[in-house]
Structure 1
Amino acid sequence: MRDVGVEPRIRHEVGETSTLVTLMAGGLGVAVVPEPVTALALDDVAYLLPAGADAHVEPAVAHRADRTEPLLARTVGIIRAVI
């Protein structure tokens, strides 16, 4: 946002995406969300793509460090192969 001259003022932070979208529906500002959130269609909420922005997110995989199951290792290996 700063790259295009916008300095955000953070008023609320939430842990749940559904709560975030509900706050937007209530008129409490704007939020930057990943594309899949658009499935949470609520009245009075508009999802817009940033015009001309080089918007991308580097993917990441997170899991508990103490887990070593073969299925987890295989899944992480597959994800690493495609990203």
Structure 2
Amino acid sequence: MLQLKSIGTPLVLTLALFGLAGCDQAEKSAQQMLDQAAKSAKQAIDDTNQAAQQALSDAMGQEGHKPKDPEKKAHSQEI
């Protein structure tokens, strides 16, 4: 019985160390996944911002082609 106890304690400690090592690896993997998700989210935000800026620029450019003074255009048509 004494031999079983002397073998059991180091075995339990060894299994606990393996468990902690597994937890550490799981934590590292989770951190890597969170970092990748953050990079993907940042890229999506940047892409959306760029598209919005382009749409705004296009909209402002089209308005620039409209006559600035509609009264002059209407007045010139009357003549």
- Larger relative contact order (C-alpha < 8 A, sep ≥ 6)? 1
TM-score bin (small chain):
under 0.3
Q: TM-score, normalised by structure 1?
A: 0.18
Q: TM-score, normalised by structure 2?
A: 0.19
